[in-house]
Copies of this chain bind each other. A is one copy, B any other.
Amino acid sequence: MIKYPNGEVYKPVELKKNRKRAFGCKSSSNRGMSLENDITISCEYYNSIDQTCIYKRPTPIKVVRMDKINKAKIVEGYFSMKSTTDYNGIYRGKYMDFEAKETESTTSFSFKNIRSQQITHLRKVSKLGGIAFFVIRFKKLEETYLVDADTLLNYMDLNIRKSFPYKFIKEKGVLIEESYCPRLKLTEAIDKMYFK
């Protein structure tokens, strides 16, 4: 058994796994990870090369009770609902705000997946001059699209259906390409949608 000077046991397997996972480098072991994870590690990569400054908003937790002895320990807490979206930050001088969603369906994306607070929030961002969008993954098709929030929300307002047809998203959105590193070519998709 190999030990570090501090007595901790050296674990070569864990080390290998962590290196592979860094900045979303794809391997057979982490293929099929959630969209949220893919986006987070892609943003970590872009942030590390100073191309963006985009972070996932932490899920707010309502802390009810702290430990009486260990003052840093939470012993009763509950996850709260975010009143905004998953991600925000800056890219090419513009404010970015977006929500990530996955669906098992191969034909449509249900309106039910979008919460009313998110609609209000993204409309406001867009009105204030920011870039607001959704990242939608059709898991079974292995396709991920960037779709402008206004485009989606205006379609919802038409009130003709209860979901976005896959074809609509394919036509109006930009396919986000996958790669070894970054996992999702997010900035390339943003460039295609907003900067051309």
What is the number of residues of chain A that contact chain B, defined by CB distance less than 8 Å?
37
A74-B77, A76-B74, A78-B74 are contacts. A53–B93 as well, Cβ < 8 Å?
Answer: no
Contact with B along A69-102 (1 / 0, CB 8 A): 0001111111100011000111111110100000
- How many angstroms from the CA of A136 to the CA of B94 in the assembled complex? 26
Residues of A38-61 whose CB lies within 8 A of B = 47, 50, 52-53, 55, 57-61
How many copies of the polypeptide does the oligomer hold? 2
A58-B58, A58-B61, A61-B58 are contacts. A90–B129 as well, Cβ < 8 Å?
Answer: yes
CB atoms of A90 and B58 under 8 A apart: no
- A185 near B: Cβ within 8 Å? no
Residues of B near A75 (CB, < 8 A) are: 75-76
Residues of B near A121 (CB, < 8 A) are: 53
CB atoms of A78 and B84 under 8 A apart: no
- How many angstroms from the CA of A72 to the CA of B50 in the assembled complex? 37
* CB of A58 to closest CB in B, whole Å: 4
- How many angstroms from the CA of A88 to the CA of B125 in the assembled complex? 12
Residues of A within 8 A of B (CB): 47, 50, 52-53, 55, 57-61, 63, 72-79, 83-84, 88-95, 97, 121, 124-125, 127-130
Can you list 30 A-B pairs with a CB-CB distance of less than 8 A?
A: A47-B124, A50-B127, A50-B128, A53-B97, A53-B125, A53-B128, A53-B130, A57-B57, A57-B58, A58-B60, A58-B61, A61-B77, A73-B76, A73-B77, A73-B78, A75-B75, A75-B76, A77-B77, A88-B88, A88-B89, A89-B95, A90-B95, A90-B128, A91-B128, A92-B128, A92-B129, A93-B129, A93-B130, A94-B95, A95-B95
